[in-house]
Amino acid sequence: MDSYQPQQNKEKEIKNPQIGDQNIMGSEMHDRDYLNDVLATEKYLTECFNTFIREASHLSLYGDLNRILAETHQCSREIFNLMFKKGWYTLQGAERKEIEQIYQQFTNYRSQFPLENITQ
């Protein structure tokens, strides 16, 4: 079990205390910079693979790329978890009222789908 606990500050920021590379100013790259770059690359790759898979006409190619996409998503998740654990990735919390408003907004969008029964 991990010993870190996410903390929330007054602005509803959800983050862990920062560990390692406390002084990250300057022109050289640090672990945080490398992980940030790798995460951005993984996000880009998943977008590209999504497009490629949607347009793949060969079933075997589709299957292979779908497995690669799943691995890429898993890799992204592991990088995110590591960055969050080290305090290098911050999330914004939301009030219950905000969540309910967005939920209602997207529920209303459902009525615009031509095949509404499929989405339920």
Model pLDDT for residues 6-44, shown as the tens digit of each residue: 454 456 788 777 776 556 567 888 999 999 999 999 999
Query: The whole model's pTM is what?
Result: 0.66
pLDDT of the residue at 20: 61
pLDDT of the residue at 107: 87
| Helix, coil or strand: residue 24 | coil
For the stretch 91-115, pLDDT in tens is: 888 899 999 999 999 888 888 877 7
More confident residue, 5 or 47: 47
d(CA 17, CA 9) in angstroms, rounded, equals: 11
Contacts 24+ apart (CB under 8 A), 37-40: 38/79, 39/76, 39/79, 39/80, 39/83
Give 10's DSSP letter.
Answer: T
10: Cα separation from own chain's centroid: 23
